[in-house]
Structures are given as C-alpha cells and as structure tokens.
Structure 1
C-alpha cells in the first residue's frame, strides 16, 4: 500500500481534484466533506437507533429482545442488497441527486417508524432505512477523492467515516436519552428532522458529481478475483458479525450482567461513542500506512473487551463494564475506516465497485450479527452474546494474520 496521501489518491483509482479546480466550481472542498460526514452520521444513527431502545420497544410492542433485535437484522439485510444494486441501477446519474433522494427516503422511513402501531409496521419502516443507508454509504465512502486536493484525501476519508463514530457518540446515546424522556417514538421522530436537514445540506454543499462511467455487474464481480479483496471481505464479515452479535444486545447485557440501571445506559453508550470517535481518527492514520497492523490491533483489542465483559461486569459491576465499553468503542471506532482503506488499496481503479461490495458485506454482517445475537440472547442469556461476539472477533484476527493483504509489504 502507498505510504503517502498522494499514494492513497492513486490507489483509489481516480486523480484527486486539485485546489485550482476546486476554486473554479461551486461546492466541493471541506464543507462538502462535512456534509458527507453528516450523511454517514445520519444513516448509521438511523440504523443503530434501536440499540438503546430495544427494551422499551419490546415492552410496548409486546415482543422479546430477540424479536425486537430484528429491527437491526432487517435493516442490515436490505442495506447489504441495496448497496450493490443501487450502485448498478443509478448508472451515470449525478451522485449529488442520488444522495439527496436517498436521504429523503431515510426521513420517510423514520417518520413511519415513529408512527408504527405494530412490530410488522416497524419492520417495514426499517426496510426503507436499509434502502437509504445502503445507497448513501456505498456512494459517499469513495467521494473524498473528488472533493479535496490529493494530499488531503486520507484526512477527508477519515472525516467522512467519523460520522460513523459520531453516530455512537451523539446519535445512539441521544436517541436513548430521548427514549427515556419522551418514549422511543420521540427518538425516531427526531431523526426524521435530522434526515431532512442533512438532505438540504447535501443539496447545497455538494458540487455536481456525475459518474465518469456507469458501474456494471461485471466490474463488481471482477473485483472479487483479487485475493486481498476476498481476504478483506471475510475479515469484514467476521469482525462486524461478531461486534453486532454483542453490541445489538449491549443494553440487556449491561442491565443483567453488570447491574446497570436504565438511566445509566445512555452514559455508558456515550463513553463507547467518544472512544470510537478517537479510534476512528487514530486508525485512519495508522491504516493509511499499514492496514494489516492496524487491523490486527483492532481485532485483538475488540475480542478481548467483548470476551472479558461477562467476567468483569459481574466482578466489578458498572465501573468495570464502563472501562470495557470504552475500550470496545476505541477498537470498533477504527473498523470502518481501516477495512475501507484495506479494500480501496486492494482494488485500485474500481473505487465504487469495491465500496459497493464493502457496504454489502458490512451490512449483511450487521444483519447476521443481530440475528445470531438474538438467538444467543434468547437461548444462552446475556453472557452468551458476548462469548459469541468475542469468538468471531478472534476469527477476524486470524484472517488478518494469515490472509493476503493489499500492496507492498502487506501480502
């Protein structure tokens, strides 16, 4: 892999915009990057909102924690399918227009969720969330190279992905607090307004972004011929499945294992998110140099934090659990930017195709993790989801250690 930001630009397969070109056109630059960070924040918050609300959702709709967790499973499955399909279907349509339309879809989905009288209607709303999320993430992930000069691409990419960590810092805890204050429906209603505001920001701040070439099915499938790409996708599948098998049910775990009270959950999730935000920027810089090393550290720390949670939670209570939640957040905060960097380096010249596969596998893993975690929660109890998640994270570490990586010195 390249060892400079200019090399990062080259690996993404498209010359970055120059400072002079930015000055000649409307939009672009750091305000546009900020709008994309707001978009990733919004889609991930919309996706993850049920995490801090599973207990009240299940109570009001009269379903188990495992059934309520299907709100994550459905969203992830739909996003996994939507990411590559929408990338193919939009052809050469201006990416700005596509992003604005998808953000409008998210607003409608959150409004429907806020009004859902039954779990079936809520799941229908979550299907729409999956459509919007899959498309936004697949398109936004690789746009930094078109918005800032080449030497700034690595920093801009980290900023775009900081929206993922910021969703944990602000979005999920804020949703949890709103759920405690006004009920879980208030949290979904608030997200409706946020999605609308971000849609306006994208329309105003992004420049026209016509696709140079339409992504075709052969191009997407062709990316899979590279061994480093396949290694990266297996890594994503194992690590993200493990994380979400555990994290989807973190509220029941904290309540039942560590004895946390309802009013402490938001604070604990805030600690997870703050650590994740720091992890995103630290991992972005590290992965730009050596993605394998960065991911070995991430997988190892995440596995240790999750596997220790049942032991430390029971032995040290809420304070011990709080430390592990923060360490867990620090590790997971670097997952998105590090795995995206791995795949961009593994597929030079196929930026959108690689991003589509990345988002498809990532969200399929979210769905699978939520589903497996639900089975573990209903069958083995709260501690079971931690053992399952930790075991999958260990599998991800082994994949990074023995698999073929991208670029010089990484294979």
Structure 2
C-alpha cells in the first residue's frame, strides 16, 4: 500500500472546493454536477493507466488535486476559477478510491480479504474524522483555512508518493476471483 494512502480519506472526505461556492456566483447544483462529471472522467483516466503506471496515476491525481485547491487559495471569488477548481478537484479525486484499493490489493497479497475488510472500517472512520476536522476548520478558520489545509495535505501526500518509489507494483501479484 502506498505510504500516502492513509491521507486520502482525510483529503477527500468532502469535495473541498464546494464550500467555496458561497464566495462566488456559481450555484451549488451546478458545482456538484461539474464535480460529478469530472470525477467520472477521473475514474476513467485512472482505469486506463493504473495497471501500467500506478505511481504516475497517483502522482497525477495528487498533483491535479493540489492544483485545484491552489487555484482557490489564490482567488476564491471568481466563478470561472471556482468552476475550474471544482472540475480539477473532481478529475483528481475521481480515481483516488481506485488507486487506494489497488495499492491495498497489491500490498495485501494473499491476505486481500482481511485487508479489504479492515480498509472499509478504517476508511469509514477516516471519512467521519475528516468530516469532523473539515467542519471544525470551516467554522474556526473559514473557507481559506479549509483550502489551505487541503492544499497542505495534498502537497504532503504528493511528496510522500514522490519519495516512495519502491512502493508501487506494476503488475498484479495475485489474481483474486470473486465467488
């Protein structure tokens, strides 16, 4: 499993750019639609490269998410920039669950069933904690605090993956059939 995979649930427990819509004229339902369409595109892009280049796919996902929150950090009042940031966040975020599950499956080997069971528990706990931390950040530090912390976590995860060259397998070590 990649060293940065523990950060994923915290990073994306909410679509970070969406609270920023309050500072623009972009409507929430439009922001959600843009995010959803971009996330589907991100899943497709990840699926196309994950077997051949899992590390590159992870780095790309984190870089795109970092770019998205950086756009908001620089200017959070523009509807055009909000739209771009939401689309980029969705694109980067879309493949993240696939990347984490694949890294876990590669690392678990024959213990994949146990690893996946534990992953579901840890992932749900991380989502709950991420929602709590995100809510506290939003209420105490405002939108900018949420954006800056998201950018910091994305960049931190990006650095970890950059340093973890040997943690990514290029081929599946086991074949796991679902029965």
Q: TM-score under structure 1 normalisation?
A: 0.39
Give per-residue Cα distances to partners, 1:55-103, cap 9 Å, x unaligned. xxxxxxxxxxxxxxxxxxxxxxxxxxxxxxxxxxxxxxxxxxxxxxxxx
- Displacement of 1:344 after TM fit? 1.0
- Displacement of 1:259 after TM fit? 3.9
- Residue in 1 that maps onto 2:33: 270
Aligned pairs for 1:2-401 within 5 A: 229=1, 232=2, 234-244=3-13, 247=15, 250-255=17-22, 257-260=23-26, 264-314=27-77, 317-401=78-162
Change in 2 beyond 3 A, CA 1:323/1:344? same
Q: Indicate the SS of the match to 2:12.
A: helix
Query: Higher relative CO (CA 8 A, sep ≥ 6), structure 1 or 2?
Result: 2
The separation in 1 between residues aligned to 2:48 and 2:120, in whole angstroms, is 21
The separation in 1 between residues aligned to 2:157 and 2:126, in whole angstroms, is 12
Q: Indicate the SS of the match to 2:76.
A: helix
Change in 2 beyond 3 A, CA 1:279/1:402? same
RMSD (Å) for aligned C-alpha atoms: 2.0
Higher Cα radius of gyration: 1
**Is the 2:105–2:112 contact (alpha carbons within 8 Å) kept by the matching residues of 1?**
yes
**Is the 2:50–2:57 contact (alpha carbons within 8 Å) kept by the matching residues of 1?**
yes
**Is the 1:239–1:299 contact (alpha carbons within 8 Å) kept by the matching residues of 2?**
no
The separation in 2 between residues aligned to 1:364 and 1:393, in whole angstroms, is 19
Gaps of 5+ in 1: 1-228
Q: TM-score under structure 2 normalisation?
A: 0.85
- Displacement of 1:273 after TM fit? 0.5
Give per-residue Cα distances to partners, 1:161-208, cap 9 Å, x unaligned. xxxxxxxxxxxxxxxxxxxxxxxxxxxxxxxxxxxxxxxxxxxxxxxx
**Is the 1:287–1:338 contact (alpha carbons within 8 Å) kept by the matching residues of 2?**
yes
Change in 2 beyond 3 A, CA 1:394/1:267? same
Q: Indicate the SS of the match to 1:247.
A: coil
**Is the 2:52–2:170 contact (alpha carbons within 8 Å) kept by the matching residues of 1?**
no
- Residue in 2 that maps onto 1:407: 169
- Displacement of 1:237 after TM fit? 2.2
**Is the 1:272–1:325 contact (alpha carbons within 8 Å) kept by the matching residues of 2?**
yes
Gaps of 5+ in 2: 172-179
**Is the 1:252–1:382 contact (alpha carbons within 8 Å) kept by the matching residues of 2?**
yes
- Displacement of 1:285 after TM fit? 2.2
| Paired residues, number | 170
